[in-house]
Amino acid sequence: MSEEALRQQIQILKKHNARLKRIAHDARNKLSAALDGTGLCLWQLDIPSGKLVIFNRRWGAMLGFQPKETKAQFDVWRECLHPDDADDVLKAFYDHIEGRAPYYEALHRMLGKNDNIKWVLDRGRVTEWDDQGNPIKVTGTHIDMTKEKEYEAQLSSLAHHDPLTGLTNRHALPSHFNQMKAKGPLCVAFVDLDNFKHVNDTLGHRSGDEVLIQLSQRISAVVLPNVVIGRLGGDEFVLLIPFLIDYPKVRIMLQAVLDAALLPFDVDNGHAQIGASIGIAQVQELDRFEDALTRADEAMYQIKKNGKQGFGLAG
C-alpha cells in the first residue's frame, strides 16, 4: 500500500472513530437522561481497584453534591452509609460478593452533604469474574426512596395521632396502655371539657378547634414525664399515667391540667372560657384499656354531677 493510500485509510479510520465516539456520547447522554427521569442511578464497581463508574449524575445530586465534588470510589460510598445501617448494608453486599446470596439488595440511609439523610434502595449483582472465578465487577442501581419513606412516616403518624392536636389518637391508646401496664403501675385519667359546646355555639367551630390545640399544648407542658396524652375525639382527652394513683405528684399534675383548662383562651374572634372535669382510675391486673377507661369515665361523671371543675378517683 502506498503512503498516500495509507494516509487516506488513516483519515477514514479517524472519521469512523470520531463517529463512534459521537454515537457513544449521544447514547450515554440519552441513558443518563432516561435514568434521571426515573430516579435511578446506574453504577458499576470494579472490585480490585474500588473504582465506581456512575453512568448518570443522579447519585451525587441525590446526596446534594455538585458534579466532581466527590470521588467515585467504593470507600467514599462506604463512608456515606448511615452509621446505624452500615453494618447491615455491608453484610448484604459481601454476602453476595462471597457467594452466600444470589444478589445484593439493601434499603438504607445515606448521609449526604451537611449530613442530610437520604433513603436509598440499593441493588446489585456480579457481572464479571476473572479466570479463577473471583468477582471483579458488580453492576447495580440506586433508587432514591426518601419521599416514599417520608410518606410512609406521615401515614404512620396519621394512623396513630389525632390530626388536629397531634396527640395520640383513640386507635393507638390501647397499644400504649398494654405496653405501659406490662412495665408497672398505671392510672387512666379521663378528661372532659366543661362549657366547650358554648365556645362552638358562640365563637364557631374554628375557634373551638383552636381552643383544643392550645389546650393540648398546655397539657403537654404540665404533665409528668412518660405520661401519654391522647384525644378520644371531640372534647374528650385521656392521660395514661405510669404511677400509683396515690402518688402525690399525680394529684398535683391533675390540678395543673385543671388550671390549664381554666385559663382564658385567645382565639381569632374573641376569648374562650372553659373548664375541665377529670376522673382517674387505677389499672387492675386484668383490666383492658376499655375497662379502666369506663371506671375513669364514671368518676368523671360524678364530678360533672357535683358542679364540674374538679377531679375524682374511681372507687
Determine how β-strand 40-46 pairs with β-strand 228-233. unpaired
From its phi and psi, is residue 204 left (phi > 0), alpha (psi between -120 and 50) or beta? left
CB 96 within 8 A of CB 103: yes
CB 120 within 8 A of CB 142: yes
Cell of 256: 395543673
235 among known catalytic residues: yes
CB 119 within 8 A of CB 109: yes
Q: How far apart are the first and last CA of the chain?
A: 113
Separation CA 218–CA 256 (nearest Å): 9
CA 309 to chain CA centroid, Å, is: 39
Pick from 74, 59, 34, 165: which is nearest to 112 by CA? 59
Catalytic residue among 235, 266, 268, 291: 235
Q: Which residues are catalytic?
A: 235
